[in-house]
Structure 1
Amino acid sequence: MHRRFFLFVLYCILSLLTITSATLGKNTTVAKTRYTSKKLPCKFHELRPQDVDVVGAMGDSITAGNGAEATHMIGILREFRGLSWSAGGDNTLETSITLPNILKKFNPQVKGYSTGTDLKTRDLWFNAAIAGARSSEIPGQAWELIGRMKNDSQRTNFENDWKVVTIFIGINDLCALDRDPVGASPESYIKTLEEGLDILHAELPRTLVNLVEIWDIHLLQQVAHGYGSTRACRLAQAAECNYVSTANDTEIEVIKAVNDEYQRLTEELIATGKYDTENDFTVVIQPFIKDTVLPCTENGEVDSTYFAVDCFHFSTKAQALAGMNLWNNMLEPVGSKTTVWGIKDLKCPTKDNPYIYTNRNSNQQSSNAIINR
């Protein structure tokens, strides 16, 4: 483990900072209407929300939920996996906006979501994210996820359950640009990401992968000086991601260029169509945070309360915002997906467009010309 991490842990222990958690506003709604059918999909391009049996996730501490409800620095080390935007299943949609909680409205029997916080009571289930992970660990997480699903036969039908797996990775790569420029290079990033996707493609049947593009991490400097930020959070952010947190103008341009290249290579990889060769597997880019705009207060100041007390991880507000926008991206056609997150109503499928959008069905659904097979 890096010396910087030990310094951060020491800082956490010494810190006495507290901050009050807040929630998102109430202008987030989900339609109650369901369009149900006994017909089960035979291919992923006919997958409806109510057909999703299993959720899973891969990534880093953002997906692990580190610090989401923390009120002091030591709380950043706690994983609030039940509140994770892409994999958490604690509470209900009315109190915790996560992808699994949204899917529960369509299929109350959906499985795989993580719950809890404490080591003794939490259930990781199919949330395979690891705090501090970089893209080089995605292949290992892919094998871990596959193993968990195969070994969960009492709850999961590995061969026949329809699965949605969300991947979000790359923040820690960018934080390591100064000390590991080769390992954090765009070429290394896409190589190991592709390796992980190849493993899922070969080994995980009936799977739709949400590949979420990373956000503009250079904006962390604004988070450290926004509404609700403190000197303590700036010190914590510098301990966790020193290169970005303390970057000068020249270094910021380097970070932005590498960040953009991560996104470009990711889009280029998926555009090859190599993951659209089967009827029971696909990878869809969900770009809701690609063109990052930080949440602001009514006075136009960056609202740092969307981030945890370290001004780095997501608070429950940002976890909910990410869950909301991931879901909405899934119901938007490829090529017309929102790339800027924000507080919005939750979208619902319609009778004309009932399916989760994929690379194959986007043109059909968006033109309301779905072919009934």
Structure 2
Amino acid sequence: MTRALPEDSSRIHPFNCTPTGRSPQKPTDARDLLPADIDIIMAMGDSLTAGFGADSTHLFNLFVDYRGSSFSVGGAKSIDECSTLANILQVYNRNITGYSTGAGEAEEKAKLNVAVTGSRSRDLLKQVHVLRDRLQAYDMKQWKMLTIFIGSNDLCGSCFDPLNSAEHFVANLEVPEPFSTSF
């Protein structure tokens, strides 16, 4: 099974926004940020954030996390080839870091995408620890954007496991005080 793309796939979703520069002074409030002010992008979540099967062309590579094509933090291809949040932000800030550039879980390619295929909301705290450790190599004074996309595995298991209930899901998303200032 192979995927058929138009001859010039860059015309599928052209990015027509005009890039703006950074704020004249570094914002101190997130409500004042411009896209170019974001210097670090990172993600936590499940298989959708990990890019599970995203670039698969046949059954044998279906079970691979293509993090570089993750909708939120993938940066393996250009904006003309793959519309991701990271690629959009790169149009505004060429120096943004943290985005994923390849497949698998190796830190050198995953960078600040710590999503784990199969994760449930109760697994987020583990991902917070991994992300906090990886952030040690980055300038903590820079503006960061974190996406958290999780819940499909909670929903799928909610009929069989009471720990996957809506109440547990909400409780698992509560941010413990020590971590709210870690980023």
Matched, 1:162 2:143: yes
Q: Aligned with 2:164: secondary structure?
A: coil
TM (normalized to structure 1)?
0.45
What are the residue-to-residue correspondences of 1:34-113 with 2, within 5 Å? 34-113=20-99
Q: Which residue, out of 190, 193, 202, partners 2:181?
A: 202
Amino acid at match of 2:149: F
The 3 A distance-change label for structure 1 pair 44 and 69 is same
Alpha carbons 1:87, 1:98 under 8 Å: kept: yes
- Work out the CA distance in 1 between the residues paired with 2:57 and 2:100: 22
Q: Aligned with 1:183: secondary structure?
A: helix
Q: Aligned with 2:160: secondary structure?
A: coil
Moved over 6 A (4+): none
Using the aligned pairs only, state the percent identity: 33
Per-residue deviation, 1:73: 2.6
The 3 A distance-change label for structure 1 pair 185 and 100 is same
- Work out the CA distance in 2 between the residues paired with 1:119 and 1:177: 27
Q: Aligned with 1:142: secondary structure?
A: helix
The 3 A distance-change label for structure 1 pair 21 and 175 is farther
Amino acid at match of 1:96: C
- Work out the CA distance in 2 between the residues paired with 1:58 and 1:118: 15
The 3 A distance-change label for structure 1 pair 63 and 171 is same
The 3 A distance-change label for structure 1 pair 179 and 21 is farther
CA RMSD of aligned residues (A): 2.2
Per-residue deviation, 1:24: 8.1
- Work out the CA distance in 2 between the residues paired with 1:117 and 1:186: 32
The 3 A distance-change label for structure 1 pair 199 and 144 is farther
Per-residue deviation, 1:139: 1.3
Larger Rg belongs to: 1
Per-residue deviation, 1:121: 9.4
Amino acid at match of 1:184: N
Matched, 1:176 2:157: yes
Alpha carbons 1:139, 1:199 under 8 Å: kept: no
Per-residue deviation, 1:200: 3.9
Gaps of 5+ in 2: none
What are the residue-to-residue correspondences of 1:1-373 with 2, within 5 Å? 18-22=1-5, 26-117=12-103, 123-150=109-136, 152=137, 156-158=138-140, 160-180=141-161, 182-195=162-175, 198=177, 200-204=179-183
The 3 A distance-change label for structure 1 pair 193 and 119 is closer
Alpha carbons 1:135, 1:192 under 8 Å: kept: yes
The 3 A distance-change label for structure 1 pair 169 and 21 is farther
The 3 A distance-change label for structure 1 pair 137 and 24 is farther
Per-residue deviation, 1:143: 1.7
The 3 A distance-change label for structure 1 pair 178 and 74 is farther
Q: Aligned with 2:148: secondary structure?
A: strand
